Amino acid sequence: MSEQDVKIEIDRLTDLLNEYAYHYYVLDQPKVSDAEYDQLLRDLMGLEQDHPALKREDSPSERVGGEPLDHFKKVQHDIPMLSLSNAFNEEELRDFDRRAQQGLGHTPTYSCELKIDGLAVTLKYENGRFVQGATRGDGTTGEDITSNLKTIASIPLRLKEDVTIEVRGEAFMPKRSFDRLNEAKEKNGEQLFANPRNAAAGSLRQLDPKIAAKRNLDIFIYSIGQVQDKEIDSHHEALQYVESLGFKTNDQHKHCETIEEVITYCEGWLDKRADLPYEIDGIVIKVDSLKDQEKLGFTAKSPRWATAFKFPAEEVVTTLQDIELSIGRTGVVTPTAILDPVSVAGTTVQRASLHNEDLIREKDLKLGDKVTIKKAGDIIPEVVNVLTEQRTGSEKDFHMPTECPECESELVRLEGEVALRCVNPKCPAQIREGLIHFVSRNAMNIDGLGERVITQLFSHQLVTDVADLYKLKREELLQLERMGEKSVDNLLTAIEASKENSLEKLLFGLGIRFVGSKAAKTLAQHFETVDKLKEATRAQLEDIDEIGEKMADAVVTYFEKPQVDELIDELKELGVNTTYKGPKPISQEENDSYFSGKTIVLTGTMEELNRNDAKAEIEALGGKVTGSVSAKTDLLIAGEKAGSKLKKAEELQIEIWDEARLIEELKR
């Protein structure tokens, strides 16, 4: 064939196979047999191999997975992917409806959808072509998993219209795929996935897309993030529009005129959910009108116009075999129930927290008891009660020890506390847990230093405190199990990079009692250096907003210890930053900033500024940064490829700046 003939044939096969895939994976209406589809795909891949320049971006051969990646790149979401508030019963659903009516001044209609138990992702298309897919991450920053998402056959690589759009959806593993995956893992002697949600998340975070391609994942699109040149008035209209573009949506969504219809819909799925070919963990209820959504707006963590009805926790009976004790980084002794394995809400449960000694006494727990357990919020296993009527007389009383199970120091109960505590500062368990906390995401955020690696380092006596992390040698790390040259180099790079963290990360990582990540930032902003903080009195600390008496006392007590002085000095010598690097908040009295008291929206792509940094600087100057444009918005800052928010701001005659104007104002 001539080059032109080859191109015509590649185009024909690509279009034909994409059409067949759409009917099979999205509409569930196969047009050809699997054998015929596979043969056509082999024909196409043969032509593409001989003529790689003619391969199209939307070729179905992209579904088999490309070359392995070294790492996932970070992605800043143009619009935050917020979590939803929860409603656990009819009364809380009615409260949600009441708040919506109060905020709107009228009764809204609602859109109800099944809450798929998977991994939230966002998909971007430019002129109809799939260009990027990312995880939700922390809501503001996710990971670029485009290569893995291309392996999901129900995600179109090219839309039916040349539209620029961002959609959100839930990637999931069907029950059948999950069962097959675990059967294969069991045959190979590998650890099984606990549930389909974990399996889906684990599959999409594989650096090798070929692994994701074998997992047979699926997706339902549930919303539009942003779209250019398209006016949409309601959520159910948005779902109809994305369906017309070739996306797969869940066919069980329902438009409800009243909260009574919403409640009936939710209750109807209590018994039916087990019959679905995928896992769900509730129902999502959204105010249907997009104008109403905009008027209701957002809290800091979630939209006011949506909530998730969570199904009542499933309760099952099992046997309490033992009670195991663990020591946390603050010395608190936490008892954990060791149970006969039992399936609860799709997960095999063998352990459940008992919180403290008082709870064990309150529930009258004995070893060997039959107990009822459930997952609080379908997540955390807990013991509900003891089936005392089923006791046989062979059950045994449990007594909390008087000595620490790790270091044999005396356990004490401090005044006003219910927990037993080991107060030995050299307790190995406390040191190990403190190290795990120090490297965690909200603290020093050292990639590659998870619990497994920390435990290895500690057991091999390579680290005894946080300063030792900065003394690790490459040759020492290479001796550890499952630590190859590449992972060791990446780990050392991450450790070195953490030295540049701003002071608040270090303060939170040190694990000062009562000091969470927010308080750590407040302290860092106020004192600017760790040396000034060390010198602060209780009175000076209590003068700071958000710092109460207990926290002030804990900070002073912590820095009075001679070993803390030695640790801080050692960290400084090792090159760890001990100063605050972020913007310093300005008091209301001295704040003459343009941003003070104003509501600001950021949209589009910034070239010079990181969006999180821009937000932090604006907030430090007294501005409030929100995610949606409304009549209450004072200023829109538009970067490159600004879409519907820019158009809306123009319609509302809101002041609009570009990035250069923002940078100019921030420098004043």
Given 7, 55, 115, 396, the catalytic residue: 115
Instruction: Report residue 314 as tokens.
Output: 């499933």
- Report d(CA 221, CA 121) in Å as an integer: 9
- Report d(CA 537, CA 355) in Å as an integer: 34
Contact 401, 357 (CB under 8 A): no
- Report d(CA 582, CA 579) in Å as an integer: 9
- Report d(CA 529, CA 374) in Å as an integer: 46
Distance of CA 153 to the CA centre of its chain: 24
- Report d(CA 452, CA 439) in Å as an integer: 12
The per-residue b/e assignment along 378-396, b for 16 or more CB within 10 angstroms, e otherwise, is: beebbbeebeeeeeeeebe
DSSP-derived secondary structure for 362-400: HHT-EET-EEEEEEETTTEEEEEEE-GGG--S--EE---
> Which backbone phi and psi does 326 adopt, to 5 degrees?
-130, 150
Closest alpha carbon to 266 in 242, 250, 284: 284
Q: Helix (H, G, I), strand (E, B), or coil: what is residue 591?
A: coil
Is 73 one of the catalytic residues? no
- State the DSSP code for 251: T
- Report d(CA 516, CA 512) in Å as an integer: 8
Burial group, residue 35, by CB count within 10 angstroms (0-12, 13-18, 19+): exposed
For the annotated catalytic residues, the residue numbers are: 115
